Amino acid sequence: MKKQLLELAHGRSGDKGDAANIGIIAYDDKEFEIIKKQLTVNRVKKHFEGICFGEVERYELPNLRALNFLLHNTLGGGGTVSLKHDAQGKTLAAALLRMEIEI
Amino acid sequence: MKEKIKIASGQGFWGDLIDAPYDQVKKGNVDYLVMDYLAEVTMSILQKQKNKNPKLGYAKDIPELMKRILPICKEKGTKIITNGGGVNPISCAEAVLDVARNIGIDKLEIAVVLGDDIKDRIDEIINSGSELNNMDTNESIKSVKEKILSANVYFGALPIVEGLKAGADIVITGRTTDTGLTLAPMIYEFGWDKNNYDLMSAGTVAGHILECGAQSSGGNFLGDWQSIPNMAEVGFPIAEAYPNGEFIITKHANTGGRVSFETVAEQLLYEIGDPEVYITPDCVADFTSIKLEDLGNDRVKVFSIKGKKATEFYKVSCSYASGYSASASLTYSWPQALTKAKAADKILRKRLENLNLTFDEIRTEFIGYNSCHGPLSKENNEEDINEIMLRVAVRSQDYYSIERFGKEIAPLILTGPPSVTGFAGGRPKPSEVVAYWPALIPKKLVQPEVKLIEL
């Protein structure tokens, strides 16, 4: 069965220069195990095709049932240089929650 | 030594809720009020203000705020720590003293932290062997040296601790890390050893949770956001800190918002990179060691934090002028709103091309359709969309090209697709693009200086 990540997790995103950071937090331990397996670097990179033009880094924070992703070359130059409406990547956590997860 | 201290966050950025710091000192008892005013872009704006008037260059909201909170803080013994001194912390402190005098306060000590501003020392620093290479590109700062608008070192908690030890009621700094503002009172009150990196990391994590104001107490919460009560009267977060490094994140009773595992966890993940290597001037904190326990009633215990020795470097943030930009928007209505907006964009781009203007980038976004999630945006029922705002933004090294772009927007109303509105406020003006140059500097090349001024 497929579910949207939105049902399993919440999160927050922001900017670090031209990179966006996306923290994803599972609602419980079981769901953390599921997202830990399925939110791979490759899957996240593919999900953000046309948005993220650089490397994706992935970190685990089991203490918070969380994963942290750094998406390089994503914010159109970052900070005040960026012409993007969402120059700080504030809405990108929500964008990741669109992903379909196999339960 | 105190058994515990309460540190209240009063501002998440310059421009945050004006009444938040007042509410923090008024609605309950706190030992410290900490306020972060400095985003990266703020330093260059403040530097421009100081260039025009040498008495300016700090967060101008501070004197007005002090008029409201100083009488309460004096009565309750609440100390205030802020980095709102910007590029002119001395003038900020003098303005605060003026306010204090005017409202009849007879005794006030302010510690000012100086030494972070290295704008006029760049050549000397390069000569000392540090080329302030860009942390992202590794390029030497020499390539942008002539265009630098501001250059500041991020100091940590220690200069603030020195100010508190000297007896300050208020500490005003220039560029200090957001986390240092919160860590400093813990070091001072609990007599923490600066080489105890687990404790330094505990205070740093508390600072990270407080530094964005209500973002840890229900604001911008992506979980079950609709269930957060009374956001209109949101309580800003408070850290109730203990000498062993444990602390509880809470907020005043009878305020809106929520402090829970989820709201605190979201803030812990905000703008971090490698969670095991959270670098500050005071320590390298390990965010994978943090344990959270939701105690209920808007109380979350944070404990078990580990960290390592600080690095030998301070981070430097330079801003430099890098061309011009402008953005403009027009709104198209049903029917075929998106198709019309796309047609208008095509016409505009053709006209700009015919004018032989030079742009580094032209960016088009369709607000109401794809400006947030780009290619992930859903494409069903495109023809039924009620309205679309066309947003076009341009950047160039050439001022004239940007200015001319601004003159090509309004004409689209009479010379482009139909049912268009929303052009108001005149032609978009070119604004100067301020770019950032993040770098590292050996700690031994800069010395923080703490100056006490008093009433």
Give the start-to-end residue ranges of the domains of chain A: 2-102
Out of B41, B265, B268, the one facing A79 most closely (by C-beta) is B41
Residues B357 and B222 occupy one common structural domain = no
Q: Are A88 and B49 in contact (CB under 8 A)?
A: no
Q: Which residues, 6+ apart, have CB-to-CB distance to B160 below 8 Å?
A: B81, B111, B113, B171, B173, B176, B180, B181, B184
Are residues B211 and B91 located together in one domain of the fold?
yes
User: pLDDT tens for residues B1-48?
Assistant: 899 999 999 999 999 999 999 999 999 999 999 999 998 778 888 988
Q: Give the pLDDT mean for B425-446.
A: 93
Which chain A residues touch B438 with a CB distance below 8 Å? 17
- Nearest of B18, B7, B6 to residue B81 by alpha carbon: B7
pLDDT value of residue B40: 77
Put simply, the answer to whether B374 touches A51 (Cβ < 8 Å) is yes
A64 contacts in B (CB within 8 Å)? Answer: 265, 268-269, 290, 292
Write down the ipTM of this complex.
Answer: 0.97
Of B262, B272, B395, the CB nearest to A25: B262
Task: Match 């430097």 to its residue by tokens.
Answer: B316
Residue B381's pLDDT is: 81
Q: Coil, strand or helix: which one is A90? A: coil
User: Do B171 and B192 lie in a common domain?
Assistant: yes
Q: What confidence tens digit (pLDDT) does each residue in A18-48 have? A: 999 999 999 999 999 999 999 999 999 999 9
In a domain, B447, yes or no: no
> What is residue A80's predicted lDDT score, i.e. its pLDDT?
83
- Domain shared by B110 and B179, yes or no: yes
- Residue B111 has a CB neighbour count (10 Å cut-off) of 27
The model's pLDDT over B54-101, given as tens digits with 9 standing for 90+, comes to 999 999 999 999 999 999 999 999 999 999 999 999 999 999 999 999
Asked whether the beta carbons of residue A60 and residue B361 sit closer than 8 angstroms, the reply is no
Q: Identify which of B233, B311, B286, B231 has the alpha carbon closest to the alpha carbon of residue B263.
A: B231
**B266 close to A (CB below 8 A):** yes
- Same domain membership, residue B380 and residue B298: no
Model pLDDT, residue B43: 87
Q: How many domains does chain B have?
A: 2
Collapsed DSSP state (helix, strand, coil) of residue B137: coil
pLDDT at B423 over 90: no
Question: What is the per-residue burial (b if ≥16 Cβ within 10 Å, else e) of B223-235?
Answer: beeeebeeeeebb
Any domain includes B453:
no
Residue-number span of the structural domain to which B398 is assigned: 321-436
Q: Is B209 exposed, middle or buried (0-12, 13-18, 19+ CB in 10 A)?
A: buried
Amino acid at A82: S
> What is the per-residue pLDDT for B426?
85
pLDDT value of residue B378: 78
CATH value at residue B399: 3.30.70
Residue B260: predicted pLDDT:
98
Structure tokens of B157? Answer: 């908690």
Instruction: Give the predicted TM-score (pTM) of the model.
Output: 0.97
Q: Are residues B301 and B350 in the same domain?
A: no
Predicted confidence band of residue B204 (pLDDT cuts 50, 70, 90):
very high
> Rounded to the nearest 5°, which phi and psi values hold at B354?
-65, -25
CA distance B166 to B242: 23
B133-172 pLDDT tens trace: 999 889 999 999 999 999 999 999 999 999 999 999 999 9
Domain boundary at B293, B311, B329, which?
B311
At which residue do the structure tokens 């940007």 appear? Answer: B402
Q: Are residues B333 and B300 in the same domain?
A: no
Residue of A nearest to B321 (CA): A81
> Is B103 part of a structural domain of the chain?
yes
Give percent of chain A with pLDDT exceeding 70.
Answer: 100
Which one of B257, B289, B311 terminates a domain? B311
Q: Are residues B193 and B306 in the same domain?
A: yes
Instruction: Tell me: pLDDT of A79 over 90.
Output: no
Chain B CA closest to residue A62: B288
- Interface mutation vs chain B, best among A47, A51, A64, most B CBs within 10 Å: A64
User: Residues B176, B267: one domain?
Assistant: yes
The verdict on B266 and B359 lying in the same domain is no
